[in-house]
Chain A
Amino acid sequence: MSDEALLELRDLQVIYRGRSLLGIGAKPFHAVKGANLTIRAGETLGLVGESGSGKSSIANAVLGLVPAAGGSMRFGDVDLVAMGTRYPPAVRAQIQAVFQDPYSSLNPSMTVEDILTEPLRVHKNMTKAERRARAIELLKLVSLSEEHLGRHPHQFSGGQRQRIAIASALALQPKLIVLDEPVSALDVSTQNQIINLLYERRDALGIAYLLIAHDLALVHHISDRIAVMYLGHIVEQGPADRVYSQPAHPYTRALLDAVPLLDPAEQRARRAKRRTAALPEASRVAEAGCPYRNRCPFAMPRCATEMPPPYPVAGGGVASCFLLDVEGASARAAETELVEP
């Protein structure tokens, strides 16, 4: 892992414009509102959030599938935002992707060999035999074998299809792979096989991952750092262990608390606790100030007017919440008290 940033997002904005006749009545939808993220070479960043949080929009922007409306995305020494959705082949080859649904991400009319050699056809000048040899090599990397080359995607199970998708993403030896919910469509018993495979390949090939998922528990297994998104904002980010075990933002805490536990007794205790602390029903979307304030049990008057800036968190990382400012202030106050006498 080097210290140099492989991918650096600064104040990234993604806005979707509704499609309508001649642009009349189109409502723009602000999916990402100023995201700052950094991924170093060989590092895995887990990006977590609920549906509509904008995490997939960040993935699509990085992949050049949707244009960024503002901010910058530096990949190595190129500016991705300037290129819009038309990345030159040299950049395309460096950034690959694995998508959520292995049932639709593989072309049903192609054989496995077609799927695995397609990147080589587009980018490399190889003979048919060389491409085939590379395809076999790739299959071995994901624990499949040569005999699978001639089959169509529908002949495989979900887990095997996802292996094929990973093999295809590895074909060009990219520096960054965007993993958009890579295991959420899979069975529990095959999920971990894929997670292990991704982990192994990363260590062997030195690839960086941008891992997008909704399940914090799953992400923390293979992420070096985790960023949490809520309604287009990155509300917290930091080292994976710290975010998972000591979440600083109330939303991260809520996300973790909502994950059902395997312990029924503990679950019952949690439910009893929830019953006593019911929140008034309010709109999820807050217009001004902190985006989470309507659902936040710790909301202060200040939260309604100001957007909290990122505050440093003990243990690494930042969280955009005024609670940290309060804690920081009391800590500072405590320090000054100590100094004064």
Chain B
Amino acid sequence: MSTQSASQPQTLRRPRWRPGASHVVVAIAVFVLTLLAVLAIFADWIAPYDPLHQDLIHALQWPSAAHWLGTDDLGRDVLSRLIYGCRIAVIAAAEGTSIAVLLGVPLGLFIGYRGGWWDWVVMRLVEAIVSIPGIMVAIVIIAILGAGLHRAMIALGILFSTSFLRLARGVVLAEREEVYVRSARVLGASDRRILLRHIFPNIAPPLIVQVTLTVGAVLLAEAGLSFIGLGVQPPQASWGTMLSTASDFMDLNWFLAIPPGIAILVTVLSVNLLGDVLRDSVGRGIAATAEPETPAARYEAAAPAASGDASLPSPRDDEVLRVEGLQVMVASRDGAGEVPVITDLSLSIARGETLGLVGESGSGKTLTGLAILGLTGAGVRTTRGSIRLNGQELRALSGSQIEKVRGNEVAMVFQDPTTSLNPAFTVGSQIAEVVRAKQGMSGRQAWERAVELIHRVGIPRPAERARSYPHELSGGMAQRIAIARALSCNPSLLIADEPTTALDVTVQQEILDLFRDLQDEFGMAMLFVTHDLAVAADICDRISVMYAGEIVEMAEVDALFSSPRHPYTRGLLSAMPHASDRNPPLPTIRGNVPRPGSWPAGCRFSDRCDFRIPACDRRIALAGIDRSVRCIRADELEVELVS
């Protein structure tokens, strides 16, 4: 299949072009900076004239064959002065930036890691410096040290070190809480070693960006200081002094300002561009995620997975949601086309029914829920299939139409209640907001309805609780609020995505009971996404087991647990902690869940299956009507199990 996709020119052209464009930009940036360095080093040989040689007869000339960029007020050759100005620019950037880095980074690392009163004292000092306009600080330092390039750069270095200090401190503060830092401490690594060897490589990317920004800022500041006469002293040539001269003679020869202006612009731009590229390549370990190891098993998009139509659930009268042949694609990380994450997925949920969508991470269960709501996000596309809610095809709706459906007819409860609620508003106002927007109630009515809902989800003293902020509530309490918000418009379908995974078992039990009670009362259909089969056994009427983007088994809850038919379902069941007695080795499923893009071509579980036969290398359809399973040996295995 890799050869197949490689032979398609359309999928190839885009990725080739895109890195190409950024390569050109990088090449230009590198060229500009190399040119700058060469000019700085070899200025004595390259410059056509002595930059200090005056020729008052030929002052303020426009560009000509003899003077390519013309001459200045004293008849000095502008091109030569520009070339010598490179030298000043390089020295200034190197000096100013390295002083800033050497001063700011170690101090920032130290106070960020150590904290305490060190941190307090240094930060107050830095804040004092930062609160004064930068150029004034520089002028004060220069007033003390005296004018001149090197002194000006020391002043700028001190000034810019504050931004390195704050940045280094900030990233260390975040990084030192990481678990790998704890691991390093447990190892017995010294503080110095932890800072330099463990933390530093991870905070280098933002520092590199800061370096390039600083180089640009130093160049500009040097030009500025020279412009006002505090940096490079005339008659020496620097871009800043050249601009300063140009400003005096704006009326007579405006062109004088162009060469140094463009030089500053192009140099600063190149440095910043290069910084971005450097950051991305250094941050490789953090920014990039893994590529599928074998691109060989790309899904054949043309083949409609061995016509799963036979296994479609038969239409029922009280059906709320009906999904048929859903396929979702994700843009692959290397930019080479798309990788399927959900294929040939069909399900149906009736009024008052709970369907469990069970699977491990990467199986596509969460994405299924989001795809139904049309909330898949950037880079993810639903490419095939139909999603019908109460008979209405959701995929045919426009953006604003589907927005009306969300919240009114479908609602969702997420895994982590503390992040799904907005921390800036009281919980009552978050529920009232939904009611007002969707049902057009007045503010007062909406608030009353919110309090009523909060009471309904079993929270004592609801009027008081409505005024609390999410962080003031426990995890279980916050999840109850999230449920109340989801139910505020009486949806016909509730999608719950791992709603109890972040909770303690005793709280989980309460929340599951609440879901059951609410369903009895409101009669909504529920799609319950979970990785925990035992939770599914508790709450669901029917269960669909997902593996690698497809449903491998679908059955009534009692039937599934009493006689699982797919080898994967069986494996999962026997691997549950309370399924077996003491004494390891505990039963396992060998191998790992394959990532999208590296699924086996035939049965996707075949690599890990103990019952594999050669016929498993072909795609296998989900077979059976009420009780369906995607395994060609299911019948055989069942007989084996019984006997």
Question: B536: nearest residue on chain A (CB-CB)?
Answer: A260
CA distance A255 to B508 in the complex (A): 11
Whether A281 pairs with B460 at a CB distance below 8 angstroms is yes
**Which among B184-192, B314-322, B406-414 touches the partner chain?**
B184-192
Whether B584 pairs with A152 at a CB distance below 8 angstroms is no
CA distance A158 to B362 in the complex (A): 12
Question: A159: nearest residue on chain B (CB-CB)?
Answer: B592
Whether A265 pairs with B186 at a CB distance below 8 angstroms is no
Whether A97 pairs with B534 at a CB distance below 8 angstroms is no
Whether A218 pairs with B183 at a CB distance below 8 angstroms is no
CA distance A317 to B492 in the complex (A): 52
Whether A118 pairs with B505 at a CB distance below 8 angstroms is no
Q: Is A27 an interface residue (CB 8 A)?
A: no
Whether A189 pairs with B285 at a CB distance below 8 angstroms is no
Whether B186 pairs with A187 at a CB distance below 8 angstroms is no
The residues in B between 356 and 411 inclusive whose CB is less than 8 angstroms from any CB of A are 360-361
Question: What A residues does B475 contact at CB under 8 A?
Answer: 51
Interface string of A45-74 (1 = CB under 8 A from B): 000001100000000000111000000000
Whether A262 pairs with B579 at a CB distance below 8 angstroms is yes
Whether B558 pairs with A255 at a CB distance below 8 angstroms is no
Question: What B residues does A220 contact at CB under 8 A?
Answer: 582
CA distance A119 to B197 in the complex (A): 13
Whether A258 pairs with B186 at a CB distance below 8 angstroms is no
The residues in A between 177 and 203 inclusive whose CB is less than 8 angstroms from any CB of B are 187-193, 195-196, 199-200
Contacts A95-B186, A157-B592; is A188 near B202 (CB within 8 Å)? Answer: no
Question: What A residues does B506 contact at CB under 8 A?
Answer: 50, 254-255, 258
- How close is A38's CB to chain B, nearest CB, in angstroms? 21
Whether B187 pairs with A118 at a CB distance below 8 angstroms is yes
Q: Is B440 an interface residue (CB 8 A)?
A: no
Contact residues on B (Cβ < 8 Å of other chain), bracket? 35 or more
CA distance A168 to B386 in the complex (A): 49
Interface string of B567-583 (1 = CB under 8 A from A): 00001110111111011
Whether B585 pairs with A196 at a CB distance below 8 angstroms is yes
Q: Is A167 an interface residue (CB 8 A)?
A: no
**Which among A28-36, A102-110, A302-310, A331-339 touches the partner chain?**
A102-110
Question: What A residues does B189 contact at CB under 8 A?
Answer: 118, 122
Contact of B575 among A159, A191, A258 (CB under 8 A): A191
Interface string of B514-534 (1 = CB under 8 A from A): 001000000000000001111
Whether A189 pairs with B588 at a CB distance below 8 angstroms is yes
Q: Is B288 an interface residue (CB 8 A)?
A: yes
**Which among A2-10, A85-93, A132-140, A320-328 touches the partner chain?**
A85-93
CA distance A93 to B186 in the complex (A): 8
Whether B180 pairs with A107 at a CB distance below 8 angstroms is yes
Q: Is B41 an interface residue (CB 8 A)?
A: no
CA distance A158 to B361 in the complex (A): 10
Whether B538 pairs with A260 at a CB distance below 8 angstroms is yes
Whether A221 pairs with B290 at a CB distance below 8 angstroms is no
The residues in B between 469 and 504 inclusive whose CB is less than 8 angstroms from any CB of A are 474-475, 504
CA distance A161 to B581 in the complex (A): 27
Q: Is A264 an interface residue (CB 8 A)?
A: yes
Question: What B residues does A123 contact at CB under 8 A?
Answer: 188
Task: Specify which of A157, A160, A187, A264 lies most central, judged by the most chain B CB atoms within 10 Å of its CB.
Answer: A264
Q: Is B467 an interface residue (CB 8 A)?
A: no
Question: What A residues does B532 contact at CB under 8 A?
Answer: 188, 260
Question: B183: nearest residue on chain A (CB-CB)?
Answer: A105
CA distance A100 to B557 in the complex (A): 32
Interface string of B588-615 (1 = CB under 8 A from A): 1110110000000000000010000000
Whether B538 pairs with A267 at a CB distance below 8 angstroms is yes
CA distance A101 to B608 in the complex (A): 25
CA distance A122 to B191 in the complex (A): 12
Whether A192 pairs with B575 at a CB distance below 8 angstroms is yes
Q: Is A214 an interface residue (CB 8 A)?
A: yes
Contact of A258 among B178, B284, B508, B516 (CB under 8 A): B508
CA distance A214 to B474 in the complex (A): 17
Contact of B290 among A93, A154, A195, A241 (CB under 8 A): A154
Whether A152 pairs with B183 at a CB distance below 8 angstroms is no
CA distance A107 to B182 in the complex (A): 11
Question: What B residues does A104 contact at CB under 8 A?
Answer: 178-180
- How close is A210's CB to chain B, nearest CB, in angstroms? 13
Question: What B residues does A214 contact at CB under 8 A?
Answer: 504-505
- How close is A280's CB to chain B, nearest CB, in angstroms? 9
Contact of A119 among B187, B285, B512 (CB under 8 A): B187
Q: Is A96 an interface residue (CB 8 A)?
A: yes
Contacts A118-B187, A189-B572; is A262 near B179 (CB within 8 Å)? Answer: no
The residues in A between 186 and 234 inclusive whose CB is less than 8 angstroms from any CB of B are 187-193, 195-196, 199-200, 214-215, 217-218, 220-222
Contacts A65-B185, A155-B290, A258-B505; is A187 near B285 (CB within 8 Å)? Answer: no
Question: What A residues does B198 contact at CB under 8 A?
Answer: 107, 110
Q: Is B586 an interface residue (CB 8 A)?
A: yes
Whether A97 pairs with B578 at a CB distance below 8 angstroms is no
Whether B513 pairs with A65 at a CB distance below 8 angstroms is no
Q: Is B20 an interface residue (CB 8 A)?
A: no
CA distance A93 to B189 in the complex (A): 10
Question: What A residues does B592 contact at CB under 8 A?
Answer: 157, 159-160, 190
Q: Is A263 an interface residue (CB 8 A)?
A: yes
Question: What B residues does A263 contact at CB under 8 A?
Answer: 537, 561
Interface string of B175-218 (1 = CB under 8 A from A): 00011101111111100010001100110000000000000000
Q: Is B261 an interface residue (CB 8 A)?
A: no
Whether B202 pairs with A118 at a CB distance below 8 angstroms is no
Question: What B residues does A129 contact at CB under 8 A?
Answer: none
Contacts A108-B285, A189-B589; is A262 near B534 (CB within 8 Å)? Answer: yes
Whether B558 pairs with A265 at a CB distance below 8 angstroms is yes
- How close is A277's CB to chain B, nearest CB, in angstroms? 12
CA distance A75 to B474 in the complex (A): 36
Question: What B residues does A221 contact at CB under 8 A?
Answer: 577, 580, 582-584, 586
- How close is A252's CB to chain B, nearest CB, in angstroms? 11
Contact of B509 among A96, A97, A105, A258 (CB under 8 A): A258
Task: Specify which of B188, B285, B458, B583 lies most central, judged by the most chain A CB atoms within 10 Å of its CB.
Answer: B188
- How close is A142's CB to chain B, nearest CB, in angstroms? 14
CA distance A200 to B533 in the complex (A): 27
Contact of A188 among B531, B538, B582 (CB under 8 A): B531
Whether A196 pairs with B537 at a CB distance below 8 angstroms is no
- How close is A152's CB to chain B, nearest CB, in angstroms? 5
CA distance A95 to B188 in the complex (A): 10
Q: Is B535 an interface residue (CB 8 A)?
A: yes
Q: Is B587 an interface residue (CB 8 A)?
A: yes
Contact of B578 among A89, A106, A241, A259 (CB under 8 A): A259
Q: Is A311 an interface residue (CB 8 A)?
A: no
Q: Is B289 an interface residue (CB 8 A)?
A: yes
Question: B186: nearest residue on chain A (CB-CB)?
Answer: A97
Contact of A215 among B183, B187, B577 (CB under 8 A): B577
Whether B504 pairs with A262 at a CB distance below 8 angstroms is no
- How close is A114's CB to chain B, nearest CB, in angstroms? 9
Pick the 5 closest A-B CB pairs, nearest first. Answer: A92-B188, A260-B534, A109-B201, A50-B504, A217-B578
Question: A residues within 8 Å of B by Cβ?
Answer: 50-51, 63-65, 87, 89, 92-93, 95-97, 99-101, 104-110, 118-119, 122-123, 152-160, 165, 168, 187-193, 195-196, 199-200, 214-215, 217-218, 220-222, 240-241, 254-255, 258-265, 267, 271, 274-275, 281, 284
A–B complex contacts, Cβ < 8 Å, 8 sampled: A118-B197, A122-B188, A154-B289, A154-B290, A157-B592, A262-B578, A271-B513, A274-B509
Extra inter-chain contacts (4) besides given A214-B505, A264-B561, CB under 8 Å:
A154-B288, A191-B575, A200-B585, A261-B537
